[in-house]
Amino acid sequence: MMRAFLFSFVAGLALSVGLSSIFPLPDHERFPSSIEVLNNGGRQEQFLIRWPQDRLAVPGNPGLLTSVADSTAFLLSAGGSITITELFRLRDVAENVIGIAARTTGNRSGTASQSDWVLLIPSRGSMLMSQRDSANLTPLRAGDGWMLPANTRAFWSAGKRYRITAGPAPGGHGRILRGTEEFARLTGSYTETWELLNQMSDGTTEGRILLATTLRSK
């Protein structure tokens, strides 16, 4: 029995290698990086997320978590604290989809929230970023459910452009904590800005999130 299993395994492996030379797997498409080199040796790069179209739904409903925004975000509320996790497509400034982004936001007792971002670009690597928010970005109670702040008129009462990042790095920037692959030897800061493009009569909105990073060698 063991001999038959080993023979089948080796034969399958050999067949896979042989077929891969005839029908090679497609390469992952990599778009040119939109990087601006700075005079001090650093570099700037911007990333873009459009809502609601770039929000990614998560199948199923994990236990103890509440689904928000058509299952594109999941919320945990307990003891006066609220934490929400969202998943998005990530674009470059030319609007090519280059990866995915996840944001986890939490606060306690209605204070301004804090957010952590993970940007994953398959052809380049990943970055972990953290910031103090300029407002409370956790969902608000709406009847029996929850509503995202961006879908309320009060959130946009001061204008259609909102800088979300408020520290903890100098100048009110967020911190880029670490990275992998291309970003492993880099450190720096970033800002997150929301821009409102359209607000419908039911309060739902369309807009974009701009993540502007400044990186330098460690």
* CA atoms in the 13 A half-sphere facing the CB of 181: 9
Per-residue confidence (pLDDT) for residue 51, from 0 to 100 = 94
In the chain the domains, ranked by start, together with CATH numbers, are 31-217 (2.40.480)
Contact 66, 137 (CB under 8 A): no
Measured CA to CA, the distance from residue 139 to residue 120 in angstroms comes to 25
Per-residue confidence (pLDDT) for residue 1, from 0 to 100 = 42
Query: Is the predicted pLDDT of residue 8 greater than 60, yes or no?
Result: no
- Section 152-161 average pLDDT: 89
- For the chain, percent of residues with pLDDT exceeding 90: 47
Q: Which of 209, 193, 212 is nearest to 55 (CA)?
A: 209
